[in-house]
Structure 1
Amino acid sequence: MSSKFAQNRSFKKNCTAFAAFFIMSVSYCQTSTYGQFWNEVQFNRTINAKWSTELNLGSSYSSTETSSNIFENNIQKSFRGWGHYYLSPRWKISSFVAYYDNKDVPEIGQFKSPEWRFALQAIYYFHKTGYTLSTRMRMELRHMRNGDDDYENVLRYRQQFKYLQPINSKILRKGVVYGIASDELYFKSGTKVTGLSFFDRNRLVVGAGYLFTDDIQLEFAYANEYLPRDNENQIVNAASLTLTFNNLLPNLNKKLLHKNEANTNED
């Protein structure tokens, strides 16, 4: 009798310990999910055969813990200027300086965190018939304000692999639809503002684009991000819209000049 009682008692203890362990594991592995919308306008300008510049204007919106509306908060506005150098047909070297107006970004916290960002980037292209593979390597220095109003420096390395496939043509040109797929790994130094984990996130992107002309294209994509954090992990499901203009001002000047010449000839 006493042996049976001892077994039941031991069983209850084990069940209690397992239940406590399970609850602690679930609470430790809690994950918050957010829906977001990212949009960016890109202006590219060719200088010569080796050099080009680029300007990006971006804005991001996010849902919150109490609202599933992806436009609930305007969490980020950004301004980014690039310089690109084409080392060879396969190598493209770039650098940028950017300003990000972060406010209530879920991964950072519910406070305003302005940020200056500097980066050095290299892209290697595997040119294939009918599609393009590329790998992108980027090192970023993020100078950003934390919740104590102190500025911290965050080093972050990003490694991306990307696949691009024209659908109704073998090359990208006017009237062509194309598909894209990419995956990117992020690694960072530990700080108060972004957390202590070395692995920052994984970003998976799938989407498509359309070229209205050789110099104007629109790209729409779905992005999934997994972000391990100190207190709780985060998952972001985002819709992304990117509008790109190549040599916008020179093309407008050419059209205006051609129009003026046509009017002059008619007179």
Structure 2
Amino acid sequence: MVEHPSQLISPALERLRQTTPLVQCLTNTVVQQITANVLLAAGASPAMTDTPEEAADFARLASGVLLNAGTPSASQYAGMREAVRGANEAGTPWVLDPVAVGALHHRTTFAREIIAHRPAAIRGNASEIVALAGLGGGGRGVDATDEVAAAIPAARQLQRDTGAVIAVSGAEDAIVTAEEIIWLRSGSPLLQLVIGSGCALGALTAAYLGAARDSGIPAGDAVLTAHAHTGAAGQLAARRASSPGSFAVAWVDALYELDAAGVAELVAVRRELA
């Protein structure tokens, strides 16, 4: 079923801008600055509090939490476990971005362990989702070698096992909930040439889930809007810049400039029963 995206996007985006959710990012060292800039431009507030001593306390205060083990250390793994504990105690939604899961053993073990603690969402590329579900070996590092459609059985399995919304990123994104699959077409190939664009999307997903909490906005719609906002900004940026460096700046500007109507005009959404 194809429907106008504004019906799904407007409530969540407007709620984000009204509430300025505070997002705790336990993320990799390569992408911290771009992640913070993306959150600020979109309308959220970033915090990079990842020490084991503080992570649980901050997760209780935050609106949403991101776990991204892109460049993990023993201390960061401990901080992530503490953040999940604090988030769950406070009812704070948290998001797992399973970077390079399947390709590397230790992070794969950690990710499979942590999803038992009920994330609000899991966001990854097709190969990461397949590997996290135990149905494949993962991609080439952070690069997917599977198509989004091939990852749908794995996404459905993860959704049943964890209760999370599962977002599979690709040429056409798939947002899998217990009731439906929402397919989203948006973005630009230049996003793949900007370091941290996918990792920042994980943080933005946490921001939208945090904003949507206790508002009546479905979690699936919040996750969809994070992806639509990111992709629409990429499309707008690609009209202004044709090379990665200038595109990266234009992308952050577009995240700031776009309102719900602007996002809805640039993306296509279709829904099917899960």
Greater relative contact order, per chain length (Cα 8 Å cut-off, separation 6+): 2
TM-score normalised by length of structure 2: 0.28
Higher percent of residues as strand: 1
Q: Say which structure is richer in helix.
A: 2
TM-score by length of 1: 0.28
